[in-house]
């Protein structure tokens, strides 16, 4: 079985998103369908067809998120081995090309947000960093070429 590893915050956010879609999303969708149905003949009602299609997309999204919740595992930061890069670690890196220092937290795809420094463990950079120790250099192939990062520190 493939698990989805999340932070406690990510797990709560996912639960809240599912609940919001179940309650508000479904209620909004039912209202849209009712409004479209009131506009006349359903066989030639494009608004009704569009609302039913949107309802199908909403239900598919809810099912996907519920499946993710079913296999979610909340990571306990006290059990994370910081001797090497792994899920949930904060990694301080030095880009060997431009000498810039950056810090990323490796998280699940669901929690990834580059603006806040959270990258997916399934991204090219995330995969390239997994298992590295402080002092090691990770050579990572990305669409723009090869990046070289030196691991400066690993923490929680």
Q: Do 125 and 104 touch, CB atoms closer than 8 A?
A: yes
pLDDT in tens, 31-78: 998 888 887 776 777 888 888 899 999 999 999 999 988 988 887 777
pLDDT in tens, 101-133: 999 999 888 889 999 999 998 899 999 999 999
Q: Average pLDDT, stretch 75-86?
A: 82
Cα–Cα nearest to 148, from 131, 121, 125: 125
Q: What is the pLDDT of residue 36?
A: 83
Residue ranges per domain, the chain? 4-74, 77-155
Q: Average pLDDT, stretch 2-24?
A: 88
Q: Residue 7: what are its φ and ψ, rounded to 5°?
A: -75, 165
Topology (CATH level 3) of domain 77-155: Chitinase A; domain 3 (3.10.50)
Q: Which residues contact 137 (CB under 8 A, 6 or more apart)?
A: 96, 148, 149, 150, 151
CA distances from 57 to 18, 36, 51 (A): 14, 17, 10
Q: What is the pLDDT of residue 1?
A: 57
Topology (CATH level 3) of domain 4-74: Helix Hairpins (1.10.287)
Q: Average pLDDT, stretch 94-104?
A: 94
Q: Could you tell me the pLDDT band of residue 81, with boundaries at 50, 70 and 90?
A: confident
* pTM of model > 0.75: no
Q: What is the pLDDT of residue 38?
A: 83
Greater pLDDT, 144 or 79: 144
CA 155 – CA 56 distance, rounded (Å): 43
Structure tokens at 125: 């950079």
């Amino acid at each position: 079985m493939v698990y989805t590893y999340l932070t406690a915050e990510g797990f709560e956010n996912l639960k809240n998103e599912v609940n919001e879609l179940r309650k508000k999303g479904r209620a909004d969708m039912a209202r849209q369908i009712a409004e479209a149905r009131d506009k006349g003949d359903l066989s030639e009602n494009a608004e009704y067809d569009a609302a039913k299609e949107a309802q199908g997309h909403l239900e598919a999204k809810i099912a996907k998120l519920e499946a993710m919740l079913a296999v979610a595992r909340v990571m306990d930061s006290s059990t994370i081995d910081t001797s090497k890069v792994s899920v949930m670690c904060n990694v301080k890196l030095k880009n060997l090309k431009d000498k810039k220092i950056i810090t990323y937290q490796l998280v699940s795809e669901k929690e990834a947000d580059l603006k806040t420094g959270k990258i997916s463990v399934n991204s090219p950079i995330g995969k390239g960093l997994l298992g590295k120790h402080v002092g090691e250099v990770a050579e990572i192939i990305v669409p723009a070429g090869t990046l070289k990062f030196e691991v400066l520190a690993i923490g929680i």
